Amino acid sequence: MRALGRRSGAVLEGLADAFAAPAEPLPRPATTAMRVDAQRWLAATPVGQRLAVRGALVALELAGRLLRPRVGFAGRSRAARLTLLDRLGRIAPPVDAAIDALGRMAVLAYWSDATVQHALGRVDGSPVATGTTTTGAPR
Amino acid sequence: MTRTIHADVCVIGTGPGGAPVACRLAQAGVDVLVLEEGAHVDLATAAPRPIDAFTDLYRDGGQTVAIGDPAIPIPLGRVVGGTSAINSGTCLRPADAVLDGWAEQLGLEQLRPAELAPYLDEAAAALGVTRVPPEIAGRNAHLAKRGADRLGWSSEWLPRNAVGCRGSGRCVFGCPTGAKRHAGLAWIDDALAAGARLLDRTRVVAIESEPGPGPVVVRAGGAGGALRIVADRVVVACGSLLTPSLLRRSGLAHDNPHLGRHLAIHPSTAAAARFDDELVDVAHGVPQSFGVDQFADRGLMLEGIGGPPEYLAFTLPLRGEAHHAAMLEHRHWAQLGVMVRDRAVGRVVDVGRGPLRRTVVRYDLDPADRDALLFGIERVAELWFAAGAREVLLPIAGLPPLRDGDLRPLRERRVPAGAMRLMAFHPHGSARPSADPRDGVLDPDLRVRGTSGVYVSDGSALPATIGVNPQLTITALALRLARHLLDRPAPRAGALAHLHA
């Protein structure tokens, strides 16, 4: 079974959109490779955890359909998604912590995308910092 | 078909506990077989991005979590080198008071400061431990130092196991230059050169050991199929979260009430700070190059953290437009972590049966540790404001950003444990040794009680919570175990001083 289905993948992209709020020049999450990266990342987790993440993403989608304006999480506007997340987070601290964890996962997958990094001005791509002018003591 | 392999000693795990034992035994001519669940890879190219590192170098995709209030992620390595391949490299010595405490509480006179010192010296020399040169420490660290200096707090450039480091800023995702001497580099390569054999991507199923003298059998599986390893001695070095489970499912010490208990993890968190007029760039420089030990008597250490922009995005406690705005100014954000020497209230348990059996970590933050962490978080905020930060973000759900040095929003808030966003990097103590068999799982020589040839050498063999990054101490205990297995006398204190003078 794939770590992310069509629906859970769209919810993850929606989470990245809500948490990272990309705007020009940053690309929309759905146009990046974040779903592929997240898919691969989740595949490395134990099956129980994988199912829990996928279940939580689907539950988020369903919660959107149950609560006004009765639109699934992925189909909502960014503002409506954030409102829903805040509302769900107020249920209990562990729910808020779980939302936070999912959001961070989505944010990492989004910011790992090469086009996002490029838009940020990070064109090198090399993990080795060489010749940097910012390594030493502050002025 | 099951393949049978014979060896004098089988070492399970290649982290700071297993690798030194394998190396020293192999160098002494012992026939050593090393098993590692992760892969033997070149870290310089294995994971170009943090998300690749989580996927390929970390256990469970980096999502190992202690269940409790609050849930606490405990990232672990699964690669040759173990967690030392993806840690920050900090190599602090344990305080004398901690070692004396182990001796007094558990009768471990062998671990008194004077007894352990030669092994700590040997470990530091082999790992190339030196203090981070300020010129590669990174501006994040220099700003933190500025704050500490202005407050008059005791601080230091941290000692690390790196040689020729260029400050690439991504220790926890696999050092891209090979400067960090993780256990795979420092020990396994030498072990292989000395004749040891390594089977990577191999998972141990169980250990079969009779109470009396005789060979120990390790059942394992890997890419090459089922394995049966017959050895005179077995050294279990799977880490503090996995060793108890392996012993338990092997029927070793499974009825010992201390197995899997007394788990300490050093709960940790971090605060981010924005500097309007200065570039920080946490992606450059040694992420954990600087520490504040002013509050060590309260069990608190403040240590630097950092990483590439996507790592900052991952850690910032912001959502929506605020997150976007922060990331557009990502080079202006600084980060500093705080960890507490905890009260070791966690435990490692196994649930389910057969193929559904899972190891579960239970850990509820002790109220006193919560208070200590809150004190530490407030000190980090104080430090950042003293350094000149305009805004500080704390890891507490619902707490607004602190601005212009005003700490009142934090002080006036009641913070339950569940509202804190924590992580932990140092699980230890879950199979502790003791002089009295009623107090621990292992004897003082780290032999599993009730066996004649099974030993433990990893974080689980630390007697109690240590209060500093445990890598160096685990390595020292491993060297001590190697010497015991070789039946050699302990080294003289200071005998290796010339190596790191």
Same domain, B22 and B168: no
Token duo for residue A93:
């601290």
Is the Cβ pair B167, A135 closer than 8 Å? yes
Same domain, B165 and B206: no
- Cα nearest neighbour of B308 on chain A: A127
Same domain, B309 and B286: yes
Residue B222: its H or E element: strand B216-222
Residue with tokens 């990232």: B75
**H helices present in A1-91, as ranges:** 6-20, 34-43, 47-66, 78-89
Residue B492 has pLDDT above 80, yes or no: no
Is the Cβ pair A111, B416 closer than 8 Å? no
pLDDT for B118: 97
| pLDDT confidence bin for A124, thresholds 50/70/90 | low
Which of B 352-391 lie inside 8 A of A, CB atoms? 358
Task: Express each pLDDT in B352-405 by its tens digit.
Answer: 887 788 899 999 999 999 999 999 999 999 999 999 999 999 999 999 999 999
End-to-end CA distance of chain B: 54
Average pLDDT of the residues of chain B: 95
Same domain, B41 and B152: no
Residue B359 lies in a domain: no
The pLDDT of B407-422, averaged and rounded, is 96
Interface check B399 vs A, CB under 8 A: no
CA-to-CA distance for B232 and B275, rounded, in angstroms?
59
Same domain, B289 and B415: yes
Is the Cβ pair A135, B139 closer than 8 Å? yes
pLDDT for B223: 80
pLDDT for B21: 98
**H helices present in B73-112, as ranges:** 96-106
Domain boundary among B385, B401, B421: B421
Residue B36 lies in a domain: yes
- Cα nearest neighbour of B275 on chain A: A138
Residue B362: its H or E element: strand B358-362
Contacts of B321 in chain A (CB under 8 A): 21
Is the Cβ pair B168, A125 closer than 8 Å? no
**Interface probe with A: pick from B42, B45, B49, most Cβ of A within 10 Å:** B49
Domain boundary among B382, B405, B421: B421
Residue B355 lies in a domain: no
| pLDDT confidence bin for B127, thresholds 50/70/90 | very high
Task: Express each pLDDT in B469-489 by its tens digit.
Answer: 999 999 999 999 999 999 887
Percent with pLDDT over 90 in chain A = 71
Is the Cβ pair A44, B177 closer than 8 Å? no
Token duo for residue A66:
């149950």
Same domain, B259 and B278: no
Task: Express each pLDDT in B157-174 by its tens digit.
Answer: 999 999 999 999 999 999
Q: Looking at residue B308, what DSSP letter applies?
A: -
Is the Cβ pair B358, A46 closer than 8 Å? yes
Residues forming a β-bridge with B350: B359
Same domain, B322 and B243: no
Contacts of A109 in chain B (CB under 8 A): 51
Distance in Å, alpha carbon of B276 to nearest chain A alpha carbon: 13
Q: One-letter amino acid identity for A42?
A: L
CATH number, domain of B385, equals 3.30.410
CATH number, domain of B53, equals 3.50.50.60
Same domain, B411 and B318: yes
pLDDT for B354: 79
Same domain, B308 and B198: no
Do B279 and B139 meet the contact criterion of CB atoms below 8 Å apart? Answer: yes
Residue A139 has pLDDT above 60, yes or no: no
- Cα nearest neighbour of B177 on chain A: A128
Is the Cβ pair A93, B418 closer than 8 Å? yes
Same domain, B235 and B258: yes
Same domain, B334 and B481: no
Distance in Å, alpha carbon of A66 to nearest chain B alpha carbon: 23
Contacts of B48 in chain A (CB under 8 A): 125, 127
Token duo for residue B19:
């690798």
- Cα nearest neighbour of B58 on chain A: A44
Residue B143 has pLDDT above 60, yes or no: yes
Same domain, B382 and B322: yes
**Interface probe with B: pick from A41, A117, A135, A139, most Cβ of B within 10 Å:** A135
Task: Express each pLDDT in B48-84 by its tens digit.
Answer: 899 999 999 999 999 999 999 999 999 999 999 999 9
Token duo for residue B463:
């007697």
Contacts of A111 in chain B (CB under 8 A): 309-310, 313-314, 327
Residue B491 has pLDDT above 80, yes or no: no
Residue B309 lies in a domain: yes
Residue B499 has pLDDT above 70, yes or no: no
Residue B250: which domain range?
1-128+181-263+428-501
- Cα torsion angle, B169, B170, B172, B177, sign: negative
Q: Environment class of residue B307 by beta-carbon count within 10 Å: exposed (0-12), middle (13-18) or buried (19+)? A: buried
Is the Cβ pair A82, B327 closer than 8 Å? no
Interface check B170 vs A, CB under 8 A: yes
Residue B93 lies in a domain: yes
Q: Environment class of residue B322 by beta-carbon count within 10 Å: exposed (0-12), middle (13-18) or buried (19+)? A: middle
Residue A99 has pLDDT above 50, yes or no: yes
**H helices present in B113-183, as ranges:** 113-127, 139-151, 183
pLDDT for A1: 60
Residue B360 lies in a domain: no
Contacts of A135 in chain B (CB under 8 A): 135-139, 167, 284-285
| pLDDT confidence bin for A129, thresholds 50/70/90 | very low
Residue B245 has pLDDT above 80, yes or no: yes
Do B235 and B11 meet the contact criterion of CB atoms below 8 Å apart? Answer: yes
Contacts of A138 in chain B (CB under 8 A): 139, 142-143, 146, 278-279
- Cα nearest neighbour of A25 on chain B: B328
Total domain count for chain B? Answer: 2
Residue B79 lies in a domain: yes
ipTM: 0.91
**Interface probe with A: pick from B316, B319, B331, B350, most Cβ of A within 10 Å:** B319
Residue B357 lies in a domain: no
Is the Cβ pair B320, A18 closer than 8 Å? yes
Nearest to B313 among A23, A44, A111 (CB): A111
Domain boundary among B397, B421, B445: B421
Q: Looking at residue B174, what DSSP letter applies?
A: -
Write out the catalytic residue numbers of B: 426
Is the Cβ pair A78, B320 closer than 8 Å? yes
Which of B 22-61 lie inside 8 A of A, CB atoms? 48-51, 54-56, 58, 60-61
Task: Express each pLDDT in B258-309 by its tens digit.
Answer: 999 999 999 999 999 999 999 999 999 999 999 999 999 999 999 999 999 9
